[in-house]
Amino acid sequence: MALLPIIIAPDPRLKVKCDPVEKVDAGIVKLLDDMLDTMYDAPGLGLAGPQVGVQKRLLVVDTSKDVDARDPKFLINPEILSASGELFKYEEGCLSLPEHYAEVERPARIRVKYLDRGGAACEMEAEDLLATCIQHEMDHLEGILFVDHLSRLKRSVILRKLQKMKKQQMQKAVGA
Ligand code: NI
C-alpha cells in the first residue's frame, strides 16, 4: 500500500496513447491497489494509469458516496461496446487538474468490456455518474483530458492557471 505522486497538467505524460496491459500479474495488482489508495486519499472518483506515470490501459473508479460502503472497480484494457445516444451532463473535475471544474456531456449509458483485478474478462453496464467517470478515465488512456472537451479558450485559461500554479510550487520548493 503506497500513495503515488499524481502528475498535474499540462504535462506531456498526460497526452500519450497508452499501451494495453499484456498480463495481469502481481505488479499490475499492486499498482491498481496503490492507485485506489491514492484516489481515496486525494480524494477523487477515478484515476487512470498515466496520471501516476504508467502509460498502460488501466484505471480505478469508485462513485459510491459513502466511505463505509465503498465500491471500487478496476478496469484493465477497457473497451466501450455500446453507448447511448442520450447524453448526461456533469461538472467534471480531475486529480490532474486540481481545483478546476467544467460541465462535460457524454453518453448517459455505456456497456464496457474489460479485464478485472483478477484478470477475468468482464462486461459491465454503467449509467449517469459511473458512466461519466469510466469515460473520463478511458479518455486519459488516449491522452485526452476533460478540458479537451471544452472550447479552446476555456481550455487554455485552465491550463495556463495550472502552469502558473506549478511554476510557483517549484519556486517554493527550491526556495527561490
Ligand atoms: Ni481525470
Domain ranges of the chain: 12-175
Burial (CB count within 10 angstroms: exposed 0-12, middle 13-18, buried 19+), residue 38: buried
CA distance 15 to 9: 9
Q: Which residues pair with 122 in a beta bridge?
A: 114
Residue 67, Ramachandran bin (φ over 0: left; ψ between -120 and 50: alpha; else beta): alpha
**Which amino acid appears at position 38 of this protein?**
T
CA of 20 to the centre of ligand 1 (A): 19
Q: So what's the pLDDT on residue 56?
A: 98
Q: How confident is the model at residue 175 (pLDDT cuts 50, 70, 90)?
A: confident
CA distance 41 to 152: 32
CA distance 164 to 25: 39
CA of 118 to the centre of ligand 1 (A): 24
What pLDDT digit, counting tens, does each position of 87-106 carry?
999 999 999 999 999 999 99
- As residues whose CB is below 5 A from the ion ligand 1, the structure lists 94
CA of 85 to the centre of ligand 1 (A): 23
Mean pLDDT of the chain: 96
What pLDDT digit, counting tens, does each position of 105-128 carry?
999 999 999 999 999 999 999 999
Which residues does the annotation mark as catalytic?
Answer: 137
Sign of CA dihedral 85, 148, 13, 71: negative
Specify the pTM: 0.96
Q: Which residues pair with 126 in a beta bridge?
A: 110
CA of 92 to the centre of ligand 1 (A): 8
CA of 102 to the centre of ligand 1 (A): 12
Across 56-69, average pLDDT? 93
Question: With respect to CATH, is domain 12-175 assigned 3.90.45.10?
Answer: yes
Cell of 57: 490501459
